[in-house]
Structure formats: C-alpha cells, structure tokens
C-alpha cells in the first residue's frame, strides 16, 4: 500500500507570493491533517479535514487555508508569504477522525521563503 505522498518536496518562493501544497493520503483514508514544523516552534497543527469538511483549525492567520477533495486529496494554500513561513509542511492521513486513530505522515514539503 502506497504511503502518504506530498508534492512538491521542495519549494522556493519570495515574500508576497502565494503557494499551494498538495497531499494524497493513503488509499482508503478519509482524514487528512496538516502540520508546520520549524526549529523554533516545533510541530504545530494547521488543519484537520474529514470527508471534505474542516473539523479543526490551528492558531494560524487567515493567510493559511486548506481544502479537501472528494477523493480525499488535500491542498493547503499560503498567501502573501512571509519569511517566517519557511518550514517543513507535513501532511498526515488517518482512516477515521478519532483520537485513537493512528496518523501516517508524508515526507513533507520544504518551503523556503526568500
């Protein structure tokens, strides 16, 4: 069974631009979550989606948005990029939106904002 895939793996953008990251969950999984990882703040939760509905949102500004499609694939978008948005963005998929479920992580997208 293929794992979680994220594209692209690396991105370089400049301040003010916008970016879209993509995540394909494990086949059959309908829950997708996104996390931001930085050296200073560690791993922080961004969003959680299940069946195309956002169930939870982390404490991030409105420049960060996401969505989930009917095939469970998910995208996140960051508009008006800032230097502080440079991070590893991780996507995780799960089979159901419960706290006992295991989330499986993709390799991440490394975003660098210049």
Partner 1 sequence: GNSVTQMEGPVTLSEEAFLTINCTYTATGYPSLFWYVQYPGEGLQLLLKATKADDKGSNKGFEATYRKETTSFHLEKGSVQVSDSAVYFCALSLQGAQKLVFGQGTRLTINP
Distances (CA, A) of 9 to 27, 73, 102: 20, 16, 23
Nearer to partner 1, 24 or 80 (CB): 24
Give the residue, chosen from 33, 36, 68, 74, that forms a contact with partner 1 under the rule CB under 8 A: 33
Asked if 75 and 54 touch (Cβ cutoff 8 Å), the reply is no
Looking at 45, 73, 79, 86, which residue binds partner 1 (CB under 8 A)? 45
For residues 14 and 27, which CB has a smaller minimum distance to partner 1 in the complex?
Answer: 27
Cis peptide before 99 (omega within 30 of 0): no
- Min dist CB 106 to partner 1, Å, is 5
Asked whether position 92 contacts partner 1 by CB under 8 A, the answer is: yes
Task: State in angstroms the smallest separation of the CB of 39 from partner 1.
Answer: 10
Buried b (16+ CB within 10 A) or exposed e, 48-57: bbbeeeeeee
């Amino acid at each position: 069974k293929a794992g979680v895939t994220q594209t692209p793996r690396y991105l370089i953008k400049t301040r003010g631009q916008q970016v879209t990251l993509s995540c394909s969950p494990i086949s059959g999984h309908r829950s997708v979550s996104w996390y931001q990882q930085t050296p200073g703040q560690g791993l922080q939760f961004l969003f959680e989606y299940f069946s195309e509905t956002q169930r939870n949102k982390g404490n991030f500004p409105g420049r960060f948005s996401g969505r989930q499609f009917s095939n469970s694939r998910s995208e996140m978008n960051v508009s008006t990029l800032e230097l502080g948005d440079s991070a590893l963005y991780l996507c995780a998929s799960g089979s159901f939106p419960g706290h006992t479920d295991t989330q499986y992580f993709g390799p991440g997208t490394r975003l660098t904002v210049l």
